[in-house]
């Protein structure tokens, strides 16, 4: 199967490196420089869990010739870069799979010509080391499901890599919500408090903050009260499983980069606003992260 | 006038050093070690604004002989240490002046024998450098007023130090509320965000957080809505005037010390609770500071 992966960040490199073991993968990068690096190296290196070097071609998406000949395109760029990517894939007809945090981009996918638009989540932890290398820091799965159009008989069905499970689910929506809530709780809290994921559960006061925040976000998203506890349990479990990790938002603040706060907690606040639900704690947390982005992080 | 000052922290040393220019001051310290240091040095040094060395005696309060012979006792210990101090001054009859942050200690003052109990606030910035030296970092005034009992004709009336204004006000309650709200907003925010006071006003997102928090605290304290703006203006002004300062709470978190969160924001939450007002943002902020105390501060 010819798979095009759009986005040369940590997750794009990870997918290209893993899927490239069984498929003919082309990585579409933002910069020509990164594509050159990968082509000169002859592929992508994955460090960390199950290290591997995988042969792979790369093209800068702006000069792409190969985008139209793929059997599947997987879009791994951050939600904030989706608009830019849509221009390149607007008219393609092969199946598309979108792997972004948050849900604010979903309505944008309605304008695509492709007859099979899938969305999914990745539970992996990965850190890009350089333009050709990513470090796989946390094991998880990729889960995806049909968002719009026709289901393909076996999208990624030949993928048979027990080190890198990929699972199609019937209804991806609950998974997206679950991931959104986890990201909306864990990312901003770790970014503001400057702590690793595990500290949110280990510290009784932070745990209390997590609980209140999770409840508020569930209410804002219109989730029924008897389900709130279930979501809190899952978020808590993710904190514990990724205890040693720094969240991407904390890393972004530390590196003075723009965070994904808008796509994640910003989206939740908009949803709550549509429902006339006030989210006082979440609003404060949102503004704190936006402020930290502006101020270039803590001075400690 | 014989003035006893209880507490050898930054404000206790500052008051002893300034009042000692015109009055016979004795400083009552917690430790014998600090009293020894001061007696050996022969007094207290103030650095920073208007540097001065002032002759002064000191005694450890637990071995005090001089406490009963003062004309006025000024209590400068943190609110958390008030209970310990009350044991020493329960039965004295001279006027007492309490200078603490927060208002949670006021009801404890009803058990005192003294017939003139005053409370007040200090607007000064000060940092203790060592056991005999304090750095006066921010100019302000000491304002005090009668809390209970008989007003004295001219308490501190002979104090005539233009470098260190002390003002008696008719009704101290509004000043206490104003200081409480300022402390409840500025201290926890700067502590959690790891920024100096001025950044709260300079950063548009932090300013938004301040505004929401101030409103919530005012509501929780039962302040009428048309007055909220006035309080926000005053808090904003304090942030701007003390722009370069690190709040005491930020310093406490940085130094892995217990903060005054309980006396300040904790008190506001209790008041709000009595009024059945929910304070979602303030509750989160409170728990964040308590958590940072536990976790020993940020790891950045």
> What pLDDT, in 10s, does the model give residues A195-223?
999 999 999 999 999 999 999 999 999 99
CB contact under 8 A, B205 and A291: yes
**Quick one: pLDDT at residue A300?**
37
Structural domains for chain B: 2-170 (3.40.50.720), 175-295 (1.10.1040.10)
Q: Which residue of B has its CA nearest to A292?
A: B193
Of A199, A209, A279, the CB nearest to B295: A199
SS3 A160: coil
**Quick one: pLDDT at residue B159?**
64
**Quick one: pLDDT at residue B32?**
95
**Quick one: pLDDT at residue A299?**
42
Task: Note if B179 is an active site residue.
Answer: yes
**Quick one: pLDDT at residue B296?**
64
B99, B32 contact by CB (below 8 A): no
**Chain B CB within 8 Å of residue A281 CB:** yes
**Token digits of residue B224:** 């009428």
What's the gap in Å between the CA of B300 and the closest CA on chain A? 6
Alpha-carbon span B271 to A186, nearest angstrom: 30
Q: Is the pLDDT of residue A269 over 80?
A: yes
CB contact under 8 A, A209 and B300: no
Comparing CA positions, the residue from A21, A4, A133, A13 lying closest to residue A61 is: A4
CB contact under 8 A, B203 and A291: yes
What's the gap in Å between the CA of A280 and the closest CA on chain B? 5
Alpha-carbon span A240 to A199, nearest angstrom: 9
**Token digits of residue A292:** 């930290």
What are the backbone angles phi and psi of residue B27, rounded to the nearest 5°?
Answer: -100, 125
- Express each pLDDT in B68-117 by its tens digit: 999 999 999 999 899 999 999 999 999 999 999 989 899 899 999 999 99
Q: What is the DSSP letter of B150?
A: P
- Express each pLDDT in A47-62 by its tens digit: 998 999 999 999 999 9
CB pairs under 8 A between A and B: 103
Alpha-carbon span B184 to A62, nearest angstrom: 52
Of B206, B254, B287, the CB nearest to A209: B287
Q: Which helix (H) or strand (E) covers residue B292, if one does?
A: helix B280-295
**Chain B CB within 8 Å of residue A66 CB:** no
CB contact under 8 A, B300 and A203: no
């Amino acid at each position: 199967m010819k798979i095009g992966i759009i986005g040369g960040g940590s997750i794009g490199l990870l997918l290209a490196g893993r899927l490239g073991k069984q498929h003919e993968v082309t990585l579409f990068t933002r910069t020509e420089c990164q594509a050159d690096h990968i082509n000169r190296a002859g592929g992508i290196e994955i460090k960390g869990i199950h290290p591997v070097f995988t042969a792979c071609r790369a093209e800068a998406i702006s000069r792409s010739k190969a985008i139209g000949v793929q059997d599947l395109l997987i879009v791994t760029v951050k939600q904030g870069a989706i608009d830019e990517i849509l221009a390149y894939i607007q008219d393609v007809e092969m199946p598309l799979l979108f792997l972004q945090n948050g849900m604010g981009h979903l309505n944008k996918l309605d304008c695509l010509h492709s007859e099979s638009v899938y969305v999914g989540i990745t539970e992996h932890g990965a850190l890009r080391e350089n333009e050709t290398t990513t470090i796989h820091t946390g094991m998880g799965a990729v889960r995806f499901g049909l968002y719009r159009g026709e289901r393909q008989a076996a999208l990624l069905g030949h993928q048979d890599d027990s080190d890198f499970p990929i699972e199609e689910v019937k209804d991806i929506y609950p998974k997206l919500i679950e991931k959104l809530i986890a990201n909306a709780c864990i990312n901003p809290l770790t970014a503001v408090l400057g702590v690793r994921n595990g500290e949110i559960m280990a510290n009784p006061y932070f745990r209390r903050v997590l609980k209140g925040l999770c409840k508020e976000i569930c209410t804002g998203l219109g989730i029924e009260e008897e389900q709130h506890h279930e979501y809190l349990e899952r978020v808590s479990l993710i904190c514990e499983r990724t205890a040693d990790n720094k969240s991407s938002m904390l890393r972004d603040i530390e590196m003075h980069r723009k965070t994904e706060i808008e796509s994640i907690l910003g989206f939740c606040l908009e949803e709550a606003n549509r429902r006339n639900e006030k989210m006082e704690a979440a609003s404060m947390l949102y503004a704190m992260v936006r402020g930290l982005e502006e101020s270039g992080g803590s001075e400690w």
